[in-house]
A and B are shown apart, each in its own frame.
Chain A
Amino acid sequence: QQQVKQSPQSLIVQKGGISIINCAYENTAFDYFPWYQQFPGKGPALLIAIRPDVSEKKEGRFTISFNKSAKQFSLHIMDSQPGDSATYFCAASNTNFNKFYFGSGTKLNVKP
């Protein structure tokens, strides 16, 4: 049973558009919600993360929106660029930051 559910599986966006990836979780003990970006042949790299005490976190073109009551969080990529084409994973962790649960991934393709 997947602890973190991610959608869509794949996403095609035109250059300059907004990419939106959604995740949902059930376990209310989760206390940390990172997003990872993975390019082909590379390991995942932390992109942006949020704690449940805030509803939004922004870093440049990347924003996490967090809805604690709905147990959902999403990644928004503004002004999407071809260089953003990668696989994105959401994740959730407990307070000890030792156990991590990842979503199934979203393959983003930004068309020039």
Chain B
Amino acid sequence: EAQVTQNPRYLITVTGKKLTVTCSQNMNHEYMSWYRQDPGLGLRQIYYSMNVEVTDKGDVPEGYKVSRKEKRNFPLILESPSPNQTSLYFCASSSPFSQLRRYYNEQFFGPGTRLTVL
């Protein structure tokens, strides 16, 4: 089954304790992104990657890091989490070349990771 998976799905942590949220896709997509979803603000893009070793900042990159060492994986790293990073996080992948898409570069989202930083 074509999908984007995220782990963990739920995480409660404390301020300053480094954490990583993993994202993996099995569709051979070139593009991957991380978003955070907050009430009243919609989804905001944190970082995106257009291919292996190619990453760039989205709208709200402060406090986050990413890496893209393999095409299928795009982990999100919070080096020193703070309470204002409490949010619902989504990973997404897409490809301009995929046969599975209905629209050009259609984004497929993972199930989300709910993060609480105390």
Contact check, B48 vs A99: say whether CB atoms are below 8 A apart: yes
- Tell me the chain A residues, 85-112 only, with Cβ under 8 Å from chain B: 89, 91, 96-105
CA distance A89 to B90 in the complex (A): 14
Closest-by-CB residue of A relative to B54 is A98
Is B111 within 8 A of A103, CB to CB?
no
Known: A6-B42, A97-B31, A101-B59. A43 touches B111 (CB 8 A): yes
C-alpha gap A1/B74 in the complex (Å): 27
Q: Is the CB of A98 within 8 A of B48?
A: yes
Are A46 and B45 within 8 A (Cβ)? no
Instruction: Tell whether, in the assembled complex, residue B94 and residue A43 are in contact, meaning their CB atoms are under 8 Å apart.
Output: no
B96 interfacial contact with A, CB 8 Å: yes
Bound state CA distance, A81 and B102, in angstroms? 23
Residues of A within 8 A of B45 (CB): 99-101
- Specify which chain A residues have a CB less than 8 angstroms from the CB of B112 in the assembled complex: 41-43
Q: Which of A43, A99, A104 contacts B109 (CB 8 A)?
A: A43
Interface residues of B (CB under 8 A from A): 4, 31, 33, 35, 40-45, 48, 50, 56, 58-59, 90, 92, 94, 96, 102-112
A selection of 6 A-B contacts at a CB cut-off of 8 Å is A43-B109, A44-B109, A89-B42, A97-B96, A97-B104, A104-B41
- A residues at B contact (CB < 8 Å): 2, 4, 6, 9, 32, 34, 41-46, 49, 89, 91, 96-105
